[in-house]
Structure 1
Amino acid sequence: MNKIEAVDPHYGRLAAIAEAHLIGNAIARNGLRIAFPPVAAPVVSIVIVSLNASDLLTLTLYRLATQQAFAGASFELIVVDNASDAKTQNVLDLLDGATVIRNAENVGYGPACNQGAAAARGRYLLFLNPDVELMPGAIGALVSPFSDATVGIVGAHLVFPGGYLQESGAFFRDDAQITHPYGRGNANPLLAESTFQREVGYVSGAVLMVERALFEHLGGFDDLFAPAYFEDTDLCVRCHQAGRRVVYQPRASAIHFENATTPVRADVEALIDRNRVRFLERHRSWLFPHAGPRFGDRTHNAWALKVLYVDDGVPHIDLGAGMPRANFIVATMARLGYQVTVYPVYRADPEIAQRYRDLPDTVEILDAEEGMGLARLIDERQEHYDVLWVSRPHNIDLVCQIFQNRDMALRDFARSRVIFDSEALFCLRDFMEGTLQDGYGFGARLAASARRETRNFAQADHVVCVSEAEARLLQYYGVTNTAVLGHAFAPQAEITVDLGSRSGFVFIGSLEHENSPNVDSLIWFLETVWPDVHRALPCVPFTIIGQVAPDLRARLSAPNVTVMGRVPDPTPLLDRARVFVAPTRFAAGMPHKVHAAVAQGLPCLVTPILAEQLGWPEGSGYLTRDWRDPKAFIAGLIRLHEDAETWRRLQRAGLAQVAQDCSPVAYAEKLRSLCEAPVFA
């Protein structure tokens, strides 16, 4: 990940105050006003309590006004002033379209917030400190978690001026400090551990959104903590006690200058110490019914199943090579309410937005630091995870070696389940590739390779594979604890059945590695099959979708062939095509791309090895033709493209087969049965 060159927060504050002063001066010299257009029915009511610090207040208001188009939700602004000095009053006089409440004396932060809330019209209240700069989209991101009715309060990802991480949610621990902001002081504000959404103990009142009805039900901020400190923490605890959740939202980023508006630090410390005692007197028995701080204190939900998922890289749908299936497994775990950590051993997107492009925000995605990082993770998070899920044989061997080096059993780390996702017998694919190249192979060599690949499988509770055929292979080589978990697809809202709007062939697959099954099959297809198909159907295109190695692209050039490269969403291209081509000559596992094409109503032409892996009756969305008979393969392609009756029959049968075998509901139940230990009353 590209890291920010952070500077010390003290110097960051000084720079911010200087910038704020310059902004205030520019507004005054140019006779400008800070305007907020009227909103008839705001979604959010922003409440700011001001007490002097006119420069930073100007900066906060200026940023809000200039970024209204990027807010992500409509809002009104309410400023409650606690008897500030004349300079601050002048700033408030510049506001248009905002509600300003001026107190004759300093009533304290919590009471002033309650005043602002009483004047609010929005469904949600956003309490915003007067020294905060919201990043684009932050307000809409804060609203987003409330689509879950159990959420009551949402907090932001806070960063010091200068770039140091200030807070990414916070938790309680039974020690002298009690409250602990997670990640505070880390020089990387985009620390991987801070980039996923989760339930937390509390969030800072610097940027705190709460449902207005809940705020009123709870009686607002408690005057017990006036003039300031711990009123936000107390509100979060009372939210929990009311049965609602407090959530940290990493997509809502803000720079918080923190203490920049505080006059005397000694006075602040005295208030914090006093209110910490009051907070503990009220909540200690609820906060700490059990002893024992753990790494897991950073997440408030102690009952959620915690899963460590290990794979080669971040599992994105568009990467192929088993990653679409891994993506669905991780997403389904998240939907089941599991707290999932993905450790990508070798590859992780450098940008956070790309990491989460097709995965839920609630999944923690760590940096890729190979075996060393995985070993450190295991050391740091012992007794945290309930399930250890390791995908692919080489990663299984890596994990087992790390535990062996520590003289630990896998069960010492994962309390409930150890699951190895072999996906398939990879040595079989290598054997088939070698046999294809050499013209012969030795069964004894395959058996020895299979024993090496499966030597650690007995340490798992379950060894998961993608099909019954793969399960039988594993059982043949002595793996008895197998379970099948293939693919699942949500029913398509609309399937294109009109052949008139479809034309051409399409291929999907990663083409990054020279010796991969995809490259082998596509080169064979372009050299052996496509010339004859193109002569028979000269106006029909062939589209290739997938990441392509630069030195391979030239070899894919052929008449009427378009190489698209990686496409984030291939759905429109599949909807325009008439036939999906899967000319695979050697492979292992279950062909997700064929499943996906059939699920989208696109008939396929496949080779026998893929038909065997699918395990469906012939005609269930596909025709089978042997690559060793190119003429038959060519004739099958032309027939499937031109014969409307055959095409429609295959589409209907394929959609029926998908509905029967690939139900997301059944898939989730199977996944639950694998991950969760049975409970007997």
Structure 2
Amino acid sequence: MTPSAEQAPSSAIQSLFEDGWYAARYPEASVSGLGPLAHFVKIGDAAGFCPHPLFDGDYYSKQYPEIPKHGGERLRHYVEIGEGRGASPHRLFDPSFYLEKNPDLRELDGLLLAHYHRFGAGELRSPCPLFSPGWYCDQRPQRKEARLHPLLDYIEYGDSAGLAPHPLFDPAYYGSQNPEIPAEGGQRLIHYLNEGGREGSNPHPLFRSRFYLERAPALEAPKKTPLEHYLGEGEATGLCPNPIFDPQYYLAENPDLRGIESLLAHYAEYGGGEGRRTSRFFLPQFYQDQLLGGGLKKSNLLAHYLDSGEEDGLLPHPLFDPTYYAGECPEAGFGQGSRLAHYLEHGHRAGGAPHPLFQPAYYAAQVGSLGTESPVRAFPSPFSSPSSASSGPCETLLSHYLVAGEAQGLKPNPLFDPVHYAKHDSANQGAAGISLLEHYVLWGGAAGLSPSILFDSAWVSRQIPGDARTRQNPMTYYFQEKGRLVKGPHPLFLASWYESQNPGVAESGLDPLSHFMELGAKARLDPHPLFYSAWYLDFHSGQIAEKKPAIFHYIELGEPQGLTPNPFFDAAYYVRHHGVQLAPGETPFAHFCNVGMDLGYRPSPLYSFCLQFFRDKREGRRCRSDNPAGGYFSPLYSSLTSPGSEIPIRLPEVYVPDVSIIIPVHGQHVYTLACLRSISKAENSTTYEILVIDDHSPMDQYRALSEIENLRLLRNEEQLGFLRTCNRGAREARGKDLIFLNNDTLVTDHWIDRLLETREAFPNAGLIGSKLIFPDGRLQEAGGLVWSDGTAMNYGYGEDLSDPRYAFARETDYVSAASVLIQAETFNGLGGFDERYTPAFYEDTDLAFRVREAGMDVVYQPHSIVIHFGGASHGRDTSGSLKKYQLANQETFRSRWQSILRKQPDSGSEPDRAALRRSGPRALVIDAEMLTPDQDSGSLRMYNFLKVIKKVGYAVTFMPCNLQYRENYTEALERNGIFVVRSPHTNSVERFLEETGAEFELCIVSRPDTAEQCLDLTQLLCPNALVLYDTVDLHYLRRERELRLAGLALAPESIKTQELRAVARADGAITVSDFDRKKLMHEVPGAPIHVVSNIHEIHPQKRSFADRDGILFIGSFQHTPNVDATLWFIADVFPIIHAWIPDLRFHIIGPNPPEKIREYASEHIVIEGFIENIDEQFSSRRLSIAPLRYGSGVKGKINQSMAYGLPCVATPSAVEGMELDWKNEISVAESAHEFAEAVAELYENEEYW
């Protein structure tokens, strides 16, 4: 130093030297005799004294080590040269930064440090990247108004007081990593700036230096710390300060922050506390919810995870499980968010799954199938340096899913379908900004929402052990157990069964349900033993518009529409019959599969009947093959389908059969064998042969049929098709009648008999069809309707088969060839099925029109019941290889019968009216109760009267006033073509008349009690009808005679008044005899009265007098005259006869004999009771008796005896009104002795007999 310098320090030094500060800081200068500046130049500089609060000589020397460390040279150098070159006088003042942030100082005449010290600090200008004056002063509100020098305050006071110089520098946090650094004078911040940052110490919980250094290779060590680099350029280029703060994501989520100085600083100051998200992989609320006891502020959540969350097993995001990921990628490290960092940077390459519900390889395959070369290339990693963004790591697959994939309908795993899950209202109403998969993990699984169509979260949750149920997601549990849950993931997916049926599951490496969702559904594999996919798609093809796997369609659309999942399940029956109470969201079929089967609940009314015919030893233990009932035979359901043996097929050996049953088949031998078993087991009185015409089936199926004894099995040399195969069968048949029967049918008892018996009620019937029902018990067809456009309709399809509308025989437009009877002569005379309809469809409809054209009728017989599976012969898809002929043949049919079709109802007409239009005008008959013609004379008369009304051209409806259904008696009427109104389908006479009364042209009300109840209603509600009152007998007359016989006074004339009033009100009356007619004409002058007497069928007898013995009485004991007659005969007449003819037996026939008659039962008085078939009694006895002492009307027991050619002894009361010859046609006696003589005389003398 020159002497002049020693004597006079340069003006440059003087411009920055702070005399007062120096003197206060170094009190020894005051006693040296030198002024502060002189002391610094001569002594202080060399001693390490600072000339200015913000000039640190030692720090400056590190930048310029060649500058002498005495005489103020370093300060002079800074003033004259250093600041201009960007040198810093203090670690906390950066001239370059200061100038960059304050461009208004570019023309400053003076030093930047001086400006800052004198003006900038007060103006809260920032001296370096890591000192924020505003932030600092906010921590010193009490000094803010005193023109605080923020940086000096921090150095002198704030640091030791624990104040932070910057939102991203936490002195206490930093000091905990470097406890040797003094907690004063800004030393911790300075330490970080000098060395701590490079050593990896973290300035703030949110800034991880090592993490940042590894991802910022452009950061040159001598120049900036990681945090300075981040604040200066890293954040702007998208580099992340920690694994879960993504600046780009933060800005995109918070566009209001655009232009802010530091996004991370904003988060540290405000965003954390406001709960703003920093990354796709950190959900603050989710994380906070995992902290038991809470208490942690939102602003500290991210830091907590980075410091200890991973170690504590906490998840930063619902879809990132650090523990699970570590199992996938053991190299991921542990702690400080290293697993998440590893996943974000390397996970997609390492193949590690971030969560059990996200499968990277599966997801990548979907993205690849979209044609995207690199599924994640569009999302540059926030960990990449700007220069390597184009070639460095890519964003994760999970990010792709969250950003774009889910919106495109891509699935994170085979069992989570975003499209399906989005249908849940609550999923769409969840927290904003989260994906559907996150919603499912957070809430949906616990709420029981289904993530895909065959995964039932609530169902799976109930299988999770109790202590884990509330905290484990059901799908996570499912994958944890590799899908092998005892009850499967859904009531209709039985995983264990599916795996046992499909060995490929184990080879695929997929869990059972994932295998089904990805492969099995498309291959039509069955998800459950009771769901037959191929059958479902075929059977319901007409109702399935879109192509989708069967089980998917059933769950989404089929079940709500009432479609059946297998041939034997009827949901409505199942719920109603068993009183099933369904849980919320539970379906009847699911209940049956998982509860009902174990309880032995029947799935349908015909279940047991049908199933027996499909038990086939050839099927072995297999549960599927082509057997529609195969699943039911699974050992899983042994409680309902107890072990049983195969029903043998035993066909009769017949050489001259009454009927030839023709069954065309092609494959489907399981159905054919079941059909043959049902025919073999069904009761019929008719002789028959069975011709199975095999239309060139595979030889193994043909052989299965060739072993059946007495089956006429013919095989086509080539495939001819259904129609030609039927025609061949007709040519080979030996029976007088032909029945065409589909192979996919099961027949019931007397199905043949009922078809043949139809000709008795419909003598002109040329073609007769059965009632076809589905195996689940619903109606398939009650005759067919043909509309004017040539389209056809199965009348009653899907309805209740017991509905009276479908339960009575009637003429119809056509009957299905699935089960139809026709005389061989007629069929061959018409040329068989018309081969223009080859190979099939519309051939039966055309045949019906040709039968009618030939002058015969087409009749539907509902009591010939045949169960028809449907589809096994042809299928139902009109676009298929065979079904396409349905549309073509419809046009052929329409063209051929165009003139006839014009007379048919229009398509869309009311089916019930169209079905009845061929039956003539409608007649209604109302009686007191159901007719029992084998039990009482009145019923027999009315039964035959109904047939007479029908024969003259009326469509007859019979309504018992009590609406009672009595199976055999109701069906007898229906078989004869009479519509019977009955409960439960009708529960009110009045309602029935209100709905249909206007359709009737004739109404007959029978008996006085019925008339009292129904006559006025009938006249009111049947305005177009002639209303007649049928007396049956004169009830008032019978009552008068009963009272006189008992010696009692006559009752008030209530019965007589009632009866006569009915005669007067009706349009006409009917009596059974001319005697009754004259009585009524006397009582009601001018009333139109007609006679319809008893009607009986003649039964010629061949048994001789010698071959007979005993006498009989027949009558209903609900009729009091019969009780009186029997008791009088037993007490007063029979003892006389017995004395004369000791071995004579008296047979008493009739339902419900009272005890006072039954007590007379003995060797010679035989109480027969009700006998269904009385032919044998009338053929075995020598005579009948009618010992009636009172009554009225014509006595059916006398008519019946005469119809059988059996002599009768009767009282005068019994023969009243019959106009019989007492000498030649009947023996009449009145007193007991006379009656006994008449019986004995007839009984012992063949010449009188």
Pick closer, same or farther for the CA change 1:440–1:19 going to 2, 3 Å.
Answer: closer
Q: Is the 8 A contact 1:33 1:94 kept in 2?
A: no
Give the drift of 1:206: 1.4
Give the drift of 1:376: 4.3
Give the drift of 1:203: 0.7
Give the drift of 1:421: 1.2
The match for 2:1088 is 481
Residue 151 in 1 paired to residue 765 in 2? yes
The match for 2:944 is 328
User: When you count strand as a share of all residues, which structure comes out higher?
Assistant: 1
Q: Is the 8 A contact 1:603 1:647 kept in 2?
A: no
The match for 2:1034 is 425
Give, in whole Å, the separation in 1 of the partners of 2:1217 and 2:1159.
29
Structural mapping, 1:607-622, within 5 Å: 607-616=1211-1220, 618-619=1222-1223, 621-622=1225-1226
The match for 1:390 is 1005
SS at 1:587 equivalent: coil
Paired AA for residue 1035 in structure 2: F
Paired AA for residue 853 in structure 2: Q
Give the drift of 1:329: 2.1
Please report the RMSD computed on the Cα atoms of aligned residues, expressed in angstroms. 4.3
Residue-by-residue CA offset, 1:460-500 (whole Å, 9 max, x unaligned): 443110122211221122152111222355555347784x6
Pick closer, same or farther for the CA change 1:271–1:376 going to 2, 3 Å.
Answer: farther
Give the drift of 1:386: 4.1
Residue-by-residue CA offset, 1:582-630 (whole Å, 9 max, x unaligned): 333332222221333355555544444334443445445445555xxxx
Paired AA for residue 744 in structure 2: D
Question: Aligned match of 2:1234 in 615, 632, 636?
Answer: 636
The match for 1:402 is 1017
SS at 1:180 equivalent: strand
Show structure 2 runs of 5+ residues with no match. 1-561, 570-606, 623-644
Show structure 1 runs of 5+ residues with no match. 1-6, 627-632, 652-681
Paired AA for residue 1071 in structure 2: C
Pick closer, same or farther for the CA change 1:227–1:396 going to 2, 3 Å.
Answer: same
SS at 1:403 equivalent: helix
Q: Is the 8 A contact 1:156 1:249 kept in 2?
A: yes
The match for 1:11 is 566
Stretch moving more, 613-622 or 197-206: 613-622
The match for 1:171 is 785
The match for 1:378 is 993
Give, in whole Å, the separation in 2 of the partners of 1:319 and 1:18.
37
SS at 2:821 equivalent: strand
Residue 133 in 1 paired to residue 781 in 2? no
Residue 344 in 1 paired to residue 960 in 2? yes
Pick closer, same or farther for the CA change 1:257–1:362 going to 2, 3 Å.
Answer: same
Question: Aligned match of 1:361 in 969, 976, 979?
Answer: 976
Residue 243 in 1 paired to residue 855 in 2? yes
Give, in whole Å, the separation in 1 of the partners of 2:1176 and 2:683.
30
SS at 2:1079 equivalent: helix
Q: Is the 8 A contact 1:80 1:116 kept in 2?
A: no
Give the drift of 1:92: 5.5
Give the drift of 1:636: 0.3
Q: Is the 8 A contact 1:580 1:605 kept in 2?
A: yes
Q: Is the 8 A contact 1:495 1:601 kept in 2?
A: no
Structural mapping, 1:401-480, within 5 Å: 401-403=1016-1018, 407-408=1020-1021, 410-412=1022-1024, 414=1025, 417-437=1026-1046, 439-441=1048-1050, 445-446=1052-1053, 449-478=1055-1084, 480=1087
Give the drift of 1:57: 3.3
Give the drift of 1:562: 1.9
Pick closer, same or farther for the CA change 1:129–1:557 going to 2, 3 Å.
Answer: closer
Task: Give the TM-score normalised by structure 2.
Answer: 0.44
Pick closer, same or farther for the CA change 1:95–1:343 going to 2, 3 Å.
Answer: same
The match for 1:542 is 1146
Paired AA for residue 962 in structure 2: Y
Give, in whole Å, the separation in 2 of the partners of 1:620 and 1:157.
50
Give, in whole Å, the separation in 2 of the partners of 1:89 and 1:123.
27
Give, in whole Å, the separation in 2 of the partners of 1:483 and 1:157.
39
The match for 1:677 is none
Structural mapping, 1:98-113, within 5 Å: 98-102=712-716, 104=718, 108-113=721-726
Paired AA for residue 636 in structure 1: E
The match for 1:521 is 1125
Paired AA for residue 154 in structure 1: I
Pick closer, same or farther for the CA change 1:575–1:311 going to 2, 3 Å.
Answer: same
Residue 256 in 1 paired to residue 868 in 2? yes
Give, in whole Å, the separation in 1 of the partners of 2:654 and 2:901.
41
Q: Which has the larger radius of gyration?
A: 2
Pick closer, same or farther for the CA change 1:466–1:93 going to 2, 3 Å.
Answer: closer
Q: Is the 8 A contact 2:682 2:748 kept in 1?
A: no
Give the number of aligned pairs. Answer: 619
Structural mapping, 1:53-92, within 5 Å: 53-64=668-679, 66-67=680-681, 72-81=686-695, 84=697, 88=701, 91=704
Give, in whole Å, the separation in 1 of the partners of 2:1245 and 2:713.
65
The match for 2:914 is 297
Residue 202 in 1 paired to residue 814 in 2? yes
The match for 2:1199 is 595
The match for 2:275 is none
Give the drift of 1:350: 3.2
Pick closer, same or farther for the CA change 1:623–1:35 going to 2, 3 Å.
Answer: closer
Residue-by-residue CA offset, 1:643-669 (whole Å, 9 max, x unaligned): 469977976xxxxxxxxxxxxxxxxxx
Paired AA for residue 1118 in structure 2: E
Q: Which has the higher relative contact order, 1 or 2, with Cα contacts under 8 A spaced 6 or more apart?
A: 1
Give, in whole Å, the separation in 1 of the partners of 2:649 and 2:1144.
60
Q: Is the 8 A contact 2:616 2:646 kept in 1?
A: no
Q: Is the 8 A contact 1:164 1:185 kept in 2?
A: yes
Paired AA for residue 1033 in structure 2: A
Pick closer, same or farther for the CA change 1:277–1:26 going to 2, 3 Å.
Answer: same
The match for 1:50 is 665
Give, in whole Å, the separation in 2 of the partners of 1:70 and 1:616.
42
Give, in whole Å, the separation in 1 of the partners of 2:735 and 2:1206.
47
Q: Is the 8 A contact 1:230 1:275 kept in 2?
A: yes
The match for 2:509 is none
Paired AA for residue 943 in structure 2: N
Residue-by-residue CA offset, 1:127-149 (whole Å, 9 max, x unaligned): 32221122344345445557888
Give, in whole Å, the separation in 2 of the partners of 1:533 and 1:51.
72
Give, in whole Å, the separation in 2 of the partners of 1:370 and 1:55.
37
Paired AA for residue 161 in structure 1: P
SS at 2:851 equivalent: helix
Q: Is the 8 A contact 2:878 2:886 kept in 1?
A: no
Stretch moving more, 471-480 or 593-602: 593-602
Task: Give the TM-score normalised by structure 1.
Answer: 0.76
Pick closer, same or farther for the CA change 1:505–1:119 going to 2, 3 Å.
Answer: closer
Paired AA for residue 508 in structure 1: I
